Structure 1
Amino acid sequence: MVQQALPVCVIGAGLIGMRHVQAALESPMVALTAIVESNPDHRAALALKGLPMVAGFEDIPIGTKAAIIATPTPNHHQMAIDVIGRGMGVLVEKPITSTMAEAYSVVNTALTAGVPLMTGHHRRCHPFMDAARARLVELGDIVGVQGIWSLRKHEAYFDPIWRRKAGAGPLMTNLSHEMDLLRFLIGDLSEVTAMTSTQQRGFEVEDTAAVAMRFDNGALGSFLISDAGASPWSFETGSFENPAIKGTGEDYIRITGSKGALEFPSLRLWRANYEGEVEWSKGLSAEKGQSFLSVDPIRSQLDRFAQIFEGVEDDILCDGAAGLAALQATLAAALSAKLARNVMCVDVPPDFQGI
């Protein structure tokens, strides 16, 4: 528990911004000083509800020590630089920025200023995430990972024209979550190869992508991601995280190692119940994963963020460097699909935006 509530503001009052606002109102660890919203009608409507609305960043009350940036991604870079310039800590929604050049700029600026910088990959804050990382130790050397995220989005979702354009599909919108999750569990990625398809909807933007990947530790992985394929497999359906998406409890990721395998997010573990060499003629036995309390990961992320200002070290939150790495892997997949060849993550051009 923090000694004093952290004065924090939220910049951007869209859907995700208001989730942060709700978390801030519920948490005793922070004190919400302001909500920045440039749209006057939306700002006025929220003010009528008693929320502390302001029109611009310059109107944030003095004494505010941290900002949550929940604006559209193209605004992340400059807004983060402005916030850091005032000596404030930053929690910026994922992806950290639009390009690698911007990401390095934000990370280096925060390091120079000595202020906390975190990226909003909130999935890390579910209790089963740290438990999964601990259970992976029992698998021996990690050999490979296979994942599938496939949820058919409703047709009205694509009514806004921008959602039909390149850059608005599952590759850039949804894959970044998976890239950070895989990095958290398996380790850094070094190389990716991706293919995309527009077959189902025929829009400019892809509706399906298949990604092969190589990790620094030698493990290989594959991931299918689609917003056109109906299935019970995704993080949201497996974890029951999002009340707007009906849960199934089905695992959507499988990880294999030299001594066993793990299903995620149930954490069902497969391992040998015998002595000696682990090999195919003897088989493996399954152990049911433990149960965890359901939490709001946005709220948990905010509480952990507040503790950073009290000097508490945290290896769960996604810091700026980790957010940069997740962006790099995601952009590498987009670049691979564009060039129709494999791409080393370190070779992503500084200004490439995924289109």
Structure 2
Amino acid sequence: MRHVEVAQACPATRISAVVEPSEVRRAALAALGLNAVATLDAVPTETRAAIVATPTQDHHVSALACLDRGWPVIVEKPTAATLDQAREVVLRAAQKGVPLFTGHHRRCHPFSRATRDALTQLGDLVGVQGLWSLRKHDTYYDADWRRQPGAGPLLTNLTHEIDLLCFFLGEIDEVTALSSNSRRGLAIEDTAALAFRFGDGALGSFLISDAGASPWSFEAASAENPAIAASHQDYIRFVGTAGALEFPSLTFWGRSGPGEIEWSKPLIATPGPHFDKVDPVLKQIGHFAAVVAGGDNDLLCSGEDGMKALEITLAAALSAKEHRPVRAGEVPGDYTGV
């Protein structure tokens, strides 16, 4: 429904149909004034593009069906349930010559693009440290599927962070992960600690938990999600040979004087610029509409980039399971993370 909302709000888009197999749900959508249909075959011929916002298991089949109709597609993250499925979707888009994107909408915040530019001030990147910890309410786990393997923060929340890190810093070559379920005692993990090696040799670490209460997360920092309390606290820090950067405030720590930057000389903090708050999902569909109209875009997450984020997310799950580092290219094509 978030995609329906922004498609109605975006002046460059109009909803031709919402495909919904449930008769009861179709009736509810029709009551909202939407053209709710049961299958893709019932979609009006004037349709020019599609957004796949179905359960993950369906991403592969629905994305292929849309691409085969010649429609540019945004498929919600992850691109598919497995790497083999994601590769097939990416290949089909290339064969059809049709744009394909993965719905990693965080890229569409103005501070995300600005961060990628600001990182050039840091000299050679040494490393990055991130902390995402939001305590989900106890009743969140009343639903049985949320207690089943695959529903923990590794596969549910980490993929957003992986895509952002790759958007900022380039490809991740290797990941090592530890996981724990000791705080909630469920079959799924509630906390994971990860170490990354990037392609240029920089290193990274990330702690992710849905059991620990903290003000540090993307959602709390950005106030993006009205259901999650805002803190406006930075949750990622980048360190380079010439300074450091906090995200998403873009506070820059740099030299205080001439000569070598070293530990006896204080660093000076420069606050980041002000950014107007935007709806990143609305921005995403606006960029998508521009591409459908024939334009170019280097901000949206391509299908290939979405597949890479899926690969490293699955690599983290595999590393935690097998207690070993996992390199890109080592994840089995049919592995689902559970």
TM superposition score normalised by structure 2: 0.99
Partner of 1:7: none
Q: CA deviation at 1:231?
A: 0.4
Distance 1:312 1:269 in 2: 34
Is 1:334 aligned to residue 283 of structure 2? no
Amino acid in the other structure paired with 1:94: K
Q: CA deviation at 1:345?
A: 1.5
Greater shift, 219-228 or 277-286, is seen at 277-286
Q: CA deviation at 1:311?
A: 2.6
Distance 1:278 1:102 in 2: 48
Partner of 2:125: 142
SS at match of 2:14: strand
Amino acid in the other structure paired with 2:287: R
Partner of 2:148: 165
Equivalent residues, number: 338
Partner of 1:273: 256
Of 298, 306, 311 in structure 2, the residue corresponding to residue 315 of structure 1 is 298
Is the 2:237–2:246 Cα contact (8 Å) retained in structure 1?
yes
Partner of 1:4: none
Cα distance change on mapping 1:116 and 1:207 into 2, 3 Å: same
Partner of 2:6: 23
Is 1:209 aligned to residue 192 of structure 2? yes
Q: CA deviation at 1:283?
A: 2.1
Is the 2:110–2:275 Cα contact (8 Å) retained in structure 1?
yes
Of 299, 307, 326 in structure 2, the residue corresponding to residue 324 of structure 1 is 307
Amino acid in the other structure paired with 1:251: D
Partner of 2:183: 200
Of 72, 78, 81 in structure 2, the residue corresponding to residue 95 of structure 1 is 78
Distance 2:20 2:294 in 1: 31
Distance 1:42 1:200 in 2: 37
Q: CA deviation at 1:310?
A: 2.6
Amino acid in the other structure paired with 1:234: S
Distance 1:311 1:268 in 2: 37
Partner of 1:282: 265
Q: Deviations over 1:120-155 (max 9, x none)?
A: 000000000011111100001110000010000011
Amino acid in the other structure paired with 1:237: A
Distance 1:252 1:239 in 2: 10
Amino acid in the other structure paired with 1:322: D
Distance 2:113 2:31 in 1: 41
Partner of 1:189: 172
Greater shift, 164-173 or 269-278, is seen at 269-278
Partner of 1:241: 224
Is the 2:153–2:189 Cα contact (8 Å) retained in structure 1?
yes
Distance 2:193 2:257 in 1: 37
Is the 2:108–2:300 Cα contact (8 Å) retained in structure 1?
yes
Is 1:45 aligned to residue 25 of structure 2? no
Is 1:110 aligned to residue 93 of structure 2? yes
Q: Deviations over 1:145-177 (max 9, x none)?
A: 000100000111111111101101100000000
Distance 1:312 1:60 in 2: 25
TM superposition score normalised by structure 1: 0.94
Q: Deviations over 1:325-345 (max 9, x none)?
A: 100110000000010000002
Is the 2:256–2:265 Cα contact (8 Å) retained in structure 1?
no
Distance 1:107 1:136 in 2: 30
Amino acid in the other structure paired with 1:313: D
Distance 1:196 1:165 in 2: 15
SS at match of 2:16: strand
- Structure 1, unmatched stretches of 5+, are 1-17
